[in-house]
């Protein structure tokens, strides 16, 4: 007996759309959203067209869409990129590309600042050192991380966020 081929008998024939594009991004996860942002920054001024396609609603799809409670790498003012390289080298038993890890440690805070600028609520420490959740910190107009606000850490490298909106903010 031959297996039945799926021929979409159960639904209408899908509409086929044709788009001209120069850069095609497939998927709508955090990596694709980051690629789309960078592609827009660098390619659009040169007249290149960018298209991102995903099988689902971009703001509600992927592993991050269900929400997170922390960002796992934020160097901040109390650490250095060199500290981060030492941490990663130890964690991965010496098998790393130190130049790449250094660049990550040097640049990651800029991305976190961008997410906060876009509206991601990040937990902060108030003047007394108490933890304030991200929504309350925004409502009370506490300093952003870029302005010198102090994040609440759940480890040396992690900072706490109200992550239920993480993917929505980035998408």
Structural domain boundaries in the chain: 1-65, 67-170
| Tens-digit pLDDT profile for residues 148-163 | 999 999 999 999 999 8
| Tens-digit pLDDT profile for residues 36-75 | 999 999 999 999 999 999 998 888 888 888 888 899 999 9
Q: Are strands 124-125 and 131-132 parallel, antiparallel or unpaired?
A: antiparallel
Look at 59 and 107; give whichever has higher pLDDT.
107
Neighbours of 123 (CB within 10 A): 24
Distance (Å, whole) CA 163 – CA 153: 14
Rounded to the nearest 5°, which phi and psi values hold at 132? -125, 125
pTM greater than 0.75 (yes/no): yes
């Amino acid at each position: 007996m031959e297996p039945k081929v799926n021929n979409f008998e159960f639904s209408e024939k899908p509409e086929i759309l044709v788009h001209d594009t120069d850069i095609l991004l497939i998927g709508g996860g955090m990596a694709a959203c980051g690629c789309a942002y960078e592609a827009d920054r660098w390619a659009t001024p040169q007249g290149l067209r960018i298209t991102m396609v995903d099988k689902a609603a971009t703001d509600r799809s992927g592993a991050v869409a269900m929400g997170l409670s922390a960002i796992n790498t934020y160097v901040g003012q109390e650490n250095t990129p060199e500290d981060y390289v030492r941490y990663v080298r130890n964690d991965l038993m010496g098998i790393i590309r130190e130049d790449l890890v250094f660049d990550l440690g040097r640049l990651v805070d800029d991305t976190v600042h961008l997410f906060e600028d876009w509206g991601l609520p990040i937990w902060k420490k108030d003047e007394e050192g108490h933890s304030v959740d991200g929504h309350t910190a925004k409502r009370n107009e506490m300093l952003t991380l870029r302005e010198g606000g102090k994040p609440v850490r759940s480890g040396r490298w992690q900072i706490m966020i109200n992550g239920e909106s993480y993917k929505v903010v980035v998408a």
